[in-house]
Amino acid sequence: MGWRDKKINRLQNPNPLLYLLSLGLVLLLWQGALLALEDSARKFILPTTAQVVTRFLRLVVDGSLLQHTGVTLLEMGLGLALGTSTALVLGYAVAHSQVLAHLLEPIIVTSQAMPVVALAPLLAIWFGPGLVSKVVVCALIVFFPILVNVSAGLSHIDNGFRQVFRLLEATRWQRFRWLEVPAALPAFLTGLRVGGTSAAMGAVVGEFVASSAGLGYLVKQGQNLYDTPLMFVAILTLTMLALVTYGALGLIERRILKWRSAGKT
């Protein structure tokens, strides 16, 4: 196993002890910042851990945190589904057509060069302040990494394998099922992991612009009221959502790609 495979294995199988050490370091830095601001008139900008925990429990008890988290999760799920399906179709088309690749590449790159934060207000005008605009924002963020990975996975199939399938007179469906899908699957799952984690950012950007619910709405509400404990609760919940999404997609990736690990032993 080379250094690259070892690095990927460490990323896919993180050490829980390192996560605990990272959490301890964050809490230590948090406490240090509190001590530094103790005699400052601006100490209200950083809540104590007790204040954050108290606000978290209050929001859990009254059900509002679960409600807002559910809204953000729905936006993330639909955005991930829309972005993934669009990326799969276009990625497959781009990998099989040079003309289409040259035609779509400027449009795709330009769409990613434009900050989603700047596009979100326009999307809110086009699609309204409801669910659809947030889903579109999520899909735009999810779309690019999956498209790039799918296209790369299909483009780097060994020509020897392609020749074997031609000699066997395999149909287009057989080539797709037995050659292209297994070859592109690892790259696709990697892109899906990146895109799925970024979906939380897309939902929050959409909620910042126009919303009446969601974790991004809670952050915005906390900002307007200078309620930093509320902002911390929403931000930490968003972070946990992103981490759980990343972990779940990583677990799915390992389960699906068991054949690759078995083949290397």
pLDDT at 51 over 70: yes
The stretch 39-59 carries a mean pLDDT of 82
Q: Is the pLDDT of residue 4 over 50?
A: no
51-60, 163-172, 199-208, 253-262: least confidently modelled range: 253-262
Q: Which of 73-77, 133-137, 253-257 has the lowest mean pLDDT?
A: 253-257
pLDDT at 239 over 80: yes
> What global pTM score does this model have?
0.79
Largest CA distance in the chain: 79
Separation of alpha carbons 181 and 197, rounded Å: 23
pLDDT tens column, 135-190 = 998 998 888 888 888 888 888 888 888 888 888 877 888 888 888 888 888 888 88
Q: CA-CA distance, 52 to 209, in Å (whole number)?
A: 25
pLDDT at 59: 92
Query: 61 pLDDT band (50/70/90 cuts)?
Result: very high
Mean pLDDT estimate for the chain: 82
User: Higher confidence at residue 68 or residue 129?
Assistant: 68
Tell me phi and psi for residue 210, to 5 degrees.
Answer: -160, 115
Q: How many CB atoms lie within 10 A of CB 161?
A: 15
pLDDT score of 264 more than 70: no
CATH architecture classification, 47-264: Orthogonal Bundle (1.10)
Q: Which of 207, 184, 189 is nearest to 246 (CA)?
A: 189
Q: Is the dihedral of CA 88, 93, 99, 103 positive or negative?
A: negative
pLDDT for residue 233: 93
Greater confidence (44 vs 259) lies with 44
Contacts of 17-26 with C-beta under 8 Å, sequence gap 24+, read none
Three-point CA angle 182, 184, 187, nearest 5°: 125
